[in-house]
Structure 1
Amino acid sequence: MFEYSIPRMGKRIDVVILIKHVIFVLEFKVGEIEFKSKDIDQVYDYALDLKNFHEPSHDQFIVPILIATKAKVSSPCSPIPPAYDKIFSPINSDLKSLEGIMKQILDLSTGKLIDPKVWKEGRYCPTPTIIEAALALYNGHSVEDISRSDANAINLSTTSDKITKIIQISKEKHQKSICFVTGVPGAGKTLVGLNIANKHSDESNDLYSVFLSGNGPLVQVLREAITRDKVRQEKERGLKITKGAVMRTVKVRIQNVHNFRDDCLLRPGPPVEHVAIFDEAQRAWDLDQTQKFMKQKKGHPNFKKSEPEFLISCLDRHSDWAVVICLVGGGQEINTGEAGIGEWVDSLDRSFPDWKIYISSKLTDSEYCTERELSKIKFRDNVQYDDDLHLSVSMRSFRAENVSFLIKKLLDLKPDESREALAKVIKNYPIVITRDLSIAKNWLRTHARGSERYGIVVSSQAERLKPYAIDIKSPMDPVHWFLEGKEDVRSSYYLEDVATEFHVQGLELDWVCVTWDADFRYSKTCWEHRSFIGSRWYHIKMSKRMNYLKNAYRVLLTRARQGMVVVVPKGEIADPTRQPDFYDPTYQYLKDIGFQTI
């Protein structure tokens, strides 16, 4: 098969050859005299993609081969035995050596014969990163192309179709509607929002939609990734285009919610969009935070609305119809002034009695903290609960779907239930613990293959990791951290700059090192919450701040797609700010649950 398409990556494999029981993945670099590391990673990525997401390839040997057509390999090396999942490490070949390499592989391995017809017609069930998904959508792929369709998950297209139907009904019936979409961490809520915005991106159409997020790093990274990809494509076509011109069009489609809010402050009329999609809606500001900001930064001393109420009011300015879509993560509030989803419900009850409310059936779960608010609207006749508005299975980790459940039980101090959850997770998803950061770094490097991304994440309160060269106040650019390659010191690969919960929320890596400081300490009855001020740790006593810190660790511990290592330092007896008993109970708790130690 020539030019074999991989929808998730938006690329094509030069040649796929099926011989007996082996899948050969060939990447040709015409005119090249050497084998570049980026090209080796490219062919490795193709092999990994087939292994992970193409069902007929799951149990077969896969051999990635890079051919530099002008290179001369004096004596081809014997292939290194394949990894546990039957993927060979990439093999470098010139034109003359290719036949001999393929024969050698076939002689070294045995297995089930591949039926070419079955293989070609086999189901492709991708699990893209949010960056890959955004690129694929903006390159014309549908959400069906880049999402799982197996029986274990509600397909993203089901939820997308439900929202599309709500938009159509709202337009036809001239009604104003709000829709709450929930999902476990990594379930694809952001992807659903991007899909709707991408589907309705024509400003001349009254279905025109805008994707809004208050998550600055997410907005920056997605905009930059899409812009770079578009510029690359245009250059490959021989067209001249500036990065600035592309970025201007991308910014219109993916906006920071605060820019949208500020524009509505300046203009009294309705926004151009009839549909607004708010990502991570639970992080919108409460009344106190909004009033404080409006007074100090915008010159509005008498502002009387929380951010959710003001944002709904902006769409309410339309005389005919409007739709607000709130994408909601449970237990994801991580910063001062974030209101939670209850403020959206309170705003509807207080100020928008005529709005139709579509609610995920899981919004009643304890992690969303909306029981009190939902009770206020339970008797409204324009409230509808719907199972299709909840995404119950994590798409972030294609290796283990129950990681978020495990982390929830771990943070809720339920060791028995955590052990049961861990037993299901570790079959396909390695999680290990260590006291040594250098061991953790080596673990990341040895487990990642191809261009699989890895990095170190820490709590924004982790002030006493400086002895390990981790400084949370050191400037870090999430665009470089998430998008640059292995050769760039600013990238996550270098394991020098670290990301906090504010940088990584909504994004993910393949392999993660979570370095656990003394800000969040285990005790038998509860977690102890601390903040380091000046030269010592202080107890955090406000329940909201305690919840933010717990949620920060929830975010950090659910960023990895393929596996993670958790570092709990040993501390230092001579340092009163890093006493061993600040760290030992946390490490022992994780060990007792059953995490493997390295």
Structure 2
Amino acid sequence: MLNFYYSDPISLFLRKSNESIIGEIALTNQFGNNQNEIFAWENQIKILKEALTEKDGYLFFEFSVPRMGKRIDCLLLIKNLVFILEFKVGEQNYLNHNIEQVWDYALDLKSFHQPSHESVLIPILIATNASNSVIEFETTSHNDFLFKPVRTNSKDLKITIDKALELLGNEEKTIDSSYVKGSYQPIPTIIEAAVSLYKNHTVEEITKSDSDAKNLNQTTTYISDQIRIAKTLGKKIICFVTGVPGAGKTLVGLKVATDHLDKELGDSSVYLSGNGPLVAVLQEALARDKVEQEKSKGNRITKNEALKGVKSFIQIIHHYRDEYLRDQSAPYDHVAIFDEAQRAWTKEQTVNFMARKKGIIGFDSSEPEFLISCLNRHKDWAVIVCLVGGGQEINTGEAGISEWIKAVKTKFKDWETHISPHLFDSEYDAMDSILELKNECKVVFNPDLHLGVSMRSIRAEKLSLFVKQLLDLNKIESKQTLKSFQNQYPIAITRSIDTAKKWIKEKARGSERYGIVVSSQAYRLKPLAIDVKSPINPVHWFLNGKDDIRSSYFLEDVATEFQVQGLELDWACVTWDGDLRYSNSGWKSFSFKGNKWQKINKEERQKYLINAYRVLLTRARKGMIILVPEGNPDDHTRNPEFYDNTFEYFKSIGLPILN
């Protein structure tokens, strides 16, 4: 249920004094009221009373958008129409970021607020002092009754509302005040979730349903209990958390980390990930938000100051490892959360790296063994949380979860191991290791360590299934799955990069993020002005705005599977190269060496390449276009036959073709 600071039928609003209305708004605002807010409310009330004469309906002030952590200035319900009003008092221009702001509010309601799914939503930006208005009611190709933002000054707001009611109003489908009581089920990106948790929000406030919150709460509560027990009794405990795809394992890790930020209590925690781009983007997003939050309170804080606090609990696992290679003391934190723990390196990979890159000869541990040894330096207590995913390996030398279990059994027998029963599932390949551990050490199995409810939307779950079927070459099944969700999640194919760029730009609304993603082996896309060898900064690419040439929005720099894994776009252009080619006998994998493509015969590397495309095909939250170039018969490295069969395969599944 959404909330607001003030609501009334329009008829009652028109009869009340301005002072009375401001008083009601101010009383509800638990964060206090500054003079600028009161001045804005005074102007909004005056403008609305002039615009709403003889209107019937409902009015809401400061209507919450929980996922965005913001409030809509005013929400109007008249007949069958929902007006989302954003006032910019004193503003003379319709600034792009203000247009995006009101559009984002409307998009959030359309996507996550159940009564808004079928409602007509009209976002209106009111730049009160603008010299003229642009009163046009335009829809988009989405055909979901969400109109493009209307721009008006204060004196033309009445004309705007009257015109909308005349063109679109329907007395028989009147929306009443129960609209605000409808279910609101947000599906946050990992960036949005991290920002919300850092602000001390609860999982109930940022998840899409009660079952999500219950599932996440059970797991985080169980882990917090183990931290308390370990600290009280002087124990060392390691927990293994499993989950269905999209269940929120990373969210659990961030929740535990943010719940234990108070270093004075002596139980501070650190969230560690080997995913460098994810860590960098999360650190930057939290720091930027912290600066903005402090600014809104009248406090000044630099981004570097904000980053110091963030980096204390979100770190790259390899930096953490290297720190305690140099420093043999116990880590500052007693609790360490390892995300994607199955990706820690094998002994062979670690020993090789230490000798080659660090000049350390004689290193004799796998990465899991060394990481446990760091926490084991604590004389009193320690807790390790391993967040475990199954499959989708894209790097060589990844140890799998059995290496962690083996390390406990051989070197750290006094550690108590708490395991999700689902770790026995075949995808984790850990059954034998667990049984051996159980014979020699204390092992506790608890179902609360499994996240069994996917936080993804139904369409995202179907997308994952579709991508699996597509890559498994199950043509009939993938065709059926595509039909079941393509109305809610558009996917198209094209052979033209210009068409692809035009499509995602048109599909994206408000600040919805779009970009081009490619395989790290896609070396022959240079004629399309795509060079995978040109490194990107994922912070700029994922967080910067449409006016920054380094951002994904510019469609110039592209991201690979390594830079987008764990992160998401709203709309993606997946550009296919000759490294992965469809054939009747299965996928053919190639790497580009020197001046030609060479076939990949090693099964492990073939699997990595297919998984790379699996990552790329599952990055978009709202839709994607797959670009398969036509190639060039005059270029032996871009022969059309490298691409044509792949395009025909996608076409046969039923993907619509855009020319």
Please state how far the C-alpha of 1:432 moved relative to its aligned partner: 1.6
* Equivalent residue in structure 1 for 2:135, among 77, 87, 98: 77
Question: Is 1:410 aligned to 2:502, yes or no?
Answer: no
CA contact (8 A) 1:212 1:277 kept: yes
CA contact (8 A) 2:573 2:626 kept: yes
Partner of 1:335: 395
Partner of 2:151: 92
Partner of 1:113: 174
Please state how far the C-alpha of 1:366 moved relative to its aligned partner: 4.1
Q: Distance in 2 between matches of 1:161 and 1:420?
A: 40
Please state how far the C-alpha of 1:80 moved relative to its aligned partner: 2.2
Kindly indicate whether structure 1 or structure 2 has the higher relative contact order, using CA contacts under 8 Å at least 6 residues apart.
Answer: 1
Per-residue CA deviation, residues 88-110 of structure 1 (Å, 9 max, x unaligned), is 11000111111221122223232
CA contact (8 A) 1:177 1:356 kept: yes
Q: Between Structure 1 and Structure 2, which shows a larger proportion of helix residues?
A: 2
Partner of 2:42: none
Per-residue CA deviation, residues 440-489 of structure 1 (Å, 9 max, x unaligned), is 11110111100000001001011111111110001211111101111111
Question: Is 1:494 aligned to 2:569, yes or no?
Answer: no
Q: Name the aligned partner's letter for residue 129 of structure 1.
A: T
Q: Distance in 1 between matches of 2:527 and 2:629?
A: 10
Please state how far the C-alpha of 1:399 moved relative to its aligned partner: 4.2
Q: Distance in 2 between matches of 1:330 and 1:232?
A: 37
CA contact (8 A) 2:215 2:452 kept: no
Structure-2 change in CA distance of 1:133 and 1:72 (3 Å): same
Structure-2 change in CA distance of 1:177 and 1:161 (3 Å): same
CA contact (8 A) 1:359 1:384 kept: yes
Per-residue CA deviation, residues 1-21 of structure 1 (Å, 9 max, x unaligned), is 222222211111111122232
CA contact (8 A) 2:568 2:621 kept: yes
Correspondence 1:482-561 to 2 at 5 A: 482-561=542-621
CA contact (8 A) 1:290 1:305 kept: yes
Partner of 2:482: 422
Partner of 1:187: 247
Q: Name the aligned partner's letter for residue 115 of structure 2.
A: P
SS of equivalent to 1:276: strand
SS of equivalent to 1:423: helix
Please state how far the C-alpha of 1:513 moved relative to its aligned partner: 0.9
CA contact (8 A) 2:212 2:454 kept: no
SS of equivalent to 1:329: coil
Partner of 1:104: 163
SS of equivalent to 2:407: helix
CA contact (8 A) 1:7 1:136 kept: no
Per-residue CA deviation, residues 140-164 of structure 1 (Å, 9 max, x unaligned), is 2112100121558974334323332
Partner of 1:37: 96
Partner of 1:160: 220
Partner of 1:48: 107
Paired-residue identity, %: 56
Q: Structure 2 length normalisation: TM-score? A: 0.85
Please state how far the C-alpha of 1:419 moved relative to its aligned partner: 2.8
Consecutive unaligned residues of structure 2, counting only runs of 5 or more, are 1-59
Q: Name the aligned partner's letter for residue 9 of structure 1.
A: M
Correspondence 1:262-281 to 2 at 5 A: 262-281=322-341
Question: Is 1:218 aligned to 2:290, yes or no?
Answer: no
Structure-2 change in CA distance of 1:59 and 1:456 (3 Å): same
Q: Distance in 2 between matches of 1:596 and 1:393?
A: 32
RMSD, aligned CA: 2.3
SS of equivalent to 1:157: helix
* Equivalent residue in structure 2 for 1:589, among 635, 643, 649: 649
Q: Distance in 2 between matches of 1:337 and 1:13?
A: 49
CA contact (8 A) 2:231 2:382 kept: yes
SS of equivalent to 1:424: helix
Q: Name the aligned partner's letter for residue 267 of structure 1.
A: D
SS of equivalent to 1:326: strand
Correspondence 1:160-309 to 2 at 5 A: 160-309=220-369
Q: Name the aligned partner's letter for residue 351 of structure 1.
A: K
Correspondence 1:131-170 to 2 at 5 A: 131-149=191-209, 155-170=215-230
Q: Name the aligned partner's letter for residue 16 of structure 1.
A: L
Per-residue CA deviation, residues 234-284 of structure 1 (Å, 9 max, x unaligned), is 223332222211111111121111121122223333222221111122221
CA contact (8 A) 2:416 2:442 kept: yes
Q: Distance in 2 between matches of 1:276 and 1:153?
A: 23
Q: Name the aligned partner's letter for residue 404 of structure 1.
A: S
Q: Name the aligned partner's letter for residue 481 of structure 1.
A: W
Correspondence 1:370-519 to 2 at 5 A: 370-374=430-434, 376-377=436-437, 379=439, 382-392=442-452, 394-397=454-457, 399-519=459-579
Matched residue count: 596
* Equivalent residue in structure 2 for 1:26, among 72, 81, 85: 85
Please state how far the C-alpha of 1:71 moved relative to its aligned partner: 0.8
Larger Rg: 2
Question: Is 1:314 aligned to 2:374, yes or no?
Answer: yes
Q: Structure 1 length normalisation: TM-score? A: 0.94
SS of equivalent to 1:400: helix
Q: Name the aligned partner's letter for residue 352 of structure 2.
A: K
CA contact (8 A) 1:15 1:25 kept: yes
Q: Distance in 1 between matches of 2:445 and 2:580?
A: 36
Q: Distance in 1 between matches of 2:498 and 2:301?
A: 44
